A = this chain, B = another copy of it.
Amino acid sequence: MRGLDLPTEVLGHLDLAAFSFLQLTGRRPTPEQGRVYNALLITLVEHGITPSALAARLTYAGAPEALQAAVAAGLCGLGSVFVGTTEGAAAMLAEELDGAPDDLDLAEAAARIVAGHRDRGQLVPGLGHPFHKPIDPRTPRLFEIARECGLHGRYVELMQRVGEEAERVSGRALPVNATGAIGALCGELGLPLKAVRGLGVMARAIGLVGHILEESEQPMAVRIWRRVDREASAHLVESSDG
């Protein structure tokens, strides 16, 4: 495994996230990188009933003998809508910072990013959140951990400046949300851009197993579906009455 002997050099020496970091980068993380990476992955585990968690629970209800297929079903929806903004934030920062000179002006870079998105009529990824108002409490905590670990560098700073610039230009509160924070931390950790969606997928797999075990003890999926089905039928009856 990347030059390490699994039984003697990995087992008992690396934690699961550090092992994944090694797989994705070929580098063993420093303890500081490991701490930030663990926090980032835990943030990506799904905590609530997301659409993906609901799909996994519905799948489990139909095939309880195939837990693996229920997790697979939940993962299938982690595409452009639900995982895309983390990827988008990471790519946006990478475009300005990967290989940039040391004296890059971050204020100018932030202005360039915000103006570019405005011109293309796109939302800046990683800002704002429908539920967490006024701020997403995970963001300051992730940045605090990064600071403690000496990993609060240009990616984090640029992400924050992008948020400030977007607020200034739009006149609306647009704090950095957890997807923006994670995108920035991926840059600090030197993770390849292609890996970013992968982080979401692996973290959600862990969360989905938790959801499915909960479903096996306290079923909710079929109850939800029954209500939907009842309403759909009622709607059909109304429609055909009309």
Contact = CB atoms under 8 A, between A and B. Distances in A.
Contacts of A60: 77
A79 B64 contact: yes
Given A79-B62, A141-B8, A71 B205 contact: yes
Nearest to A233: B48
A73 B63 contact: no
A228 B49 contact: yes
Copies in the complex: 4
Contacts of A138: 6-7, 11
Of the listed residues A11, A59, A73, the one surrounded by the most CB atoms of chain B closer than 10 A to its CB is A59
Contacts of A67: 194, 197-198, 201
A237 to B, nearest CB: 13
Q: Interface size for chain A: under 10, 10 to 19, 20 to 34, or 35 or more residues?
A: 35 or more
A232 interface: yes
26 contacts: A6-B138, A11-B141, A11-B145, A12-B148, A15-B15, A15-B16, A16-B17, A16-B45, A16-B203, A19-B45, A20-B210, A23-B207, A23-B209, A51-B59, A62-B78, A62-B82, A63-B76, A63-B77, A63-B78, A64-B79, A68-B69, A71-B72, A72-B72, A195-B209, A201-B209, A202-B202
A104 interface: no
A84 to B, nearest CB: 9
Nearest to A52: B62
A87 to B, nearest CB: 10
A79 B63 contact: yes
Contacts of A238: none
A213 interface: yes
B11 A49 contact: no
